[in-house]
Amino acid sequence: MVTNQIQTLKLNLWFGNNHVLHDVSMGVTEKKITAMIGPSGCGKSTLLRTFNRMNDLIDETRISGKVLLDGEDIYRSKADVTNLRTRVGMVFQKPNPFPKSIFNNVAFGMAVQGKFNRSQIEDRVEKSLRDAWLWDEVKDRLNESAMSLSGGQQQRLCIARALANNPEVLLLDEPTSALDPQSTSKIEELCLELKNMVTILIVTHNIAQAGRISDYIAFMYLGELVEFGETNKVFTVPQDKRTEAYLTGVFG
């Protein structure tokens, strides 16, 4: 049996008195794309953010249960959160490059870690930009502001920035919802390529997108993981009526 790279066990999460995640137990397979779908407010983004502990930033967050990464509980008391976040990268809904040069955006994570020399950083920046399919578009203007890039390029820059930390897992929180269709399909194709090197979890509102790129689907509803399985199985024979209703557009 293959062990899961990420495994949640009876995960519950509260923001104050608001019980957001209910007993979520879910496994994520290495180097596959797992899509998390469900109506707004179902907890899919919150679940995604437990994997790099971004929910810690919100006051009064409480959690019970476990989240294992490579078998280790990332919420154990001595866990190194900054180290976790270099292992689990994240790309957000809106492209949000730093107001710095293209180069310095990608080099940011390495610069913060402070254990790389200049040529190591340069090599990794180039590799990350190549991996994010951005290198040819920006190689002649690495010192220009990242703000000069188009929206789709900015989002690929954010992917490159996350890849530069050599993460094991990449969390994508609705990464294409602010992009035009062309940029969207480019990022979808990129995801299919990237899964050879990194495990991808993607939150999306776009059911068709989940169908196009994911290997596994997690359907969430009202804070519960209602259904989890291989994408083609969930899409063809959903086990739960709520999943079927969502996929066929009854609500959402």
Partner 1 sequence: MNTYKEKLFKALTYTASLFVIIFLFGIIYSIFREGLPILKVVKLQDFIFGSAWYPTHEIPEFGIWTLIIGSVYVTLGALVVALPLGLGSAVYISEVASPRMREIAKPIIELLAAIPSVIYGLFGMAFLAPAVRQWFNLPTGLNVFTSSIILGIMVIPIIASMSEDALSTVPKALRESSLALGATKWETIVRVVVPAAKRGIIGSTLIGFGRAIGETMVVLMVAGGSAKIPSSIFHSTRPMTSAIAAEMGETVVGDLHYQSLFAIAIVLFLITFATNIFTEIVFLKRSAR
Q: How far is the CB of 64 from partner 1 (least distance, A)?
A: 23
Using the minimum distance from each CB to partner 1, give the nearer residue, 25 or 113: 113
Q: What residues from 49 to 78 belong to the interface with partner 1 (CB under 8 A)? A: 52, 54, 57
For partner 1, the binding residue among 90, 207, 220, 226 (CB under 8 A) is 90
Query: Does residue number 4 form part of the binding site for partner 1 (CB under 8 A)?
Result: no
Query: Does residue number 134 form part of the binding site for partner 1 (CB under 8 A)?
Result: no
Binding segment for partner 1 (CB under 8 A), chosen from 161-169, 199-207, 212-220, 229-237, is 161-169
Query: Does residue number 162 form part of the binding site for partner 1 (CB under 8 A)?
Result: yes
Return the HEC string of the chain. CCCCCEEEEEEEEEECCEEEEEEEEEEECCCCEEEEECCCCCCHHHHHHHCCCHHHHCCCEEEEEEEEECCEECCCCCCCHHHHHHHEEEECCCCCCCCCEHHHHHHHHHHHHCCCCHHHHHHHHHHHHHHCCCHHHHCCCCCCEHHHCCHHHHHHHHHHHHHCCCCCEEEEECCCCCCCHHHHHHHHHHHHHHCCCCEEEEECCCHHHHHHHCCEEEEEECCEEEEEEEHHHHHHCCCCHHHHHHHCCCCC
For partner 1, the binding residue among 5, 8, 34, 86 (CB under 8 A) is 86
For partner 1, the binding residue among 14, 75, 108, 135 (CB under 8 A) is 108
The count of chain residues that interact with partner 1, using the rule CB under 8 A, is 25
Q: How far is the CB of 248 from partner 1 (least distance, A)?
A: 34
Give me the residues that bind partner 1 (CB under 8 A), please. Answer: 52, 54, 57, 82-83, 85-86, 89-90, 92, 94, 96, 98-100, 108-109, 111-113, 147, 158, 161-162, 165
